[in-house]
Amino acid sequence: MATLLPPLRVCRGILKELRAMQGATYKLSPAYNYVMEQFRKNKVTGEMYCRAQQEAHHDSHTYLCLLASNRTHLALHKLYHGKGDRSREEVAGLVGLRLPTQPGGKGWEK
C-alpha cells in the first residue's frame, strides 16, 4: 500500500532540503555524505525483493517527510503565528495618537 516516490526523486528532495537548511556549504555536511553513500550503496541489488533496499527506501522517504514538513511548519508558523504583540507606540498609532514624551524622564524614573 505504501506508494513511495522513486528513489531519485527522494534523493533530490532530501538534497534540496539540506541546501535550503544550510545554504551553499551543504555538500560539506556529514548528512550529505551519509545520504549520498546510502543511496549509492542501495542502488544495485542482487535480490529480486531486497528487504534492505525497501527499508532504506522507506527510511529515506521518512527523512524527506521530516525535513520538508519541518520547514513548511516553520514557514507557516512565521507567517501566521510569529508576529507577537504590538509595541506601545504601534498600539497608540492605531487610533492616531502618539505616546507623550517628557524630556528628562518622569519624576520616578531613573
Partner 1 sequence: MFRNIVRLQSQFGNILSPNKVCPRSPHFRFALKYSTAITERKRFYQDVSISQGEGGLYEINLDRKKLKTPGGKLFTVPNEVLAIAVATEWDAQRDTLKFYTMHLTTLCNTALDNPTQRNKEQMINAALKFLETDTVCYRVDEPHGLVELQKNEWDPVLHWIENRYNVTIGSSSSILGPEIPEATKDTFRQHLNSYNFWSLTGLEFVITQLKSVVLSMGMIDRHLSVEQAVLLSRLEEEYQIQHWGNVEWAHDYDMYELRARTAAGALFVHLSSEGSTVKRKLLQDRQG
Residues lying near partner 1 in the complex (CB under 8 A) are found at 1-4, 18, 21-22, 29-31, 34, 46, 52, 54-55, 58-59, 61-63, 65-66, 69-70, 72-74, 76-77, 79-81
DSSP string, 21-41: HHGGGGGGSHHHHHHHHHHHH
The least CB distance from residue 99 to partner 1, in Å, is 27
The least CB distance from residue 52 to partner 1, in Å, is 8
**76 SS3 class:** helix
Residue whose CB is less far from partner 1, 44 or 95: 44
Helical residues (DSSP H) of the chain, grouped into ranges: 7-22, 30-41, 51-76, 88-94
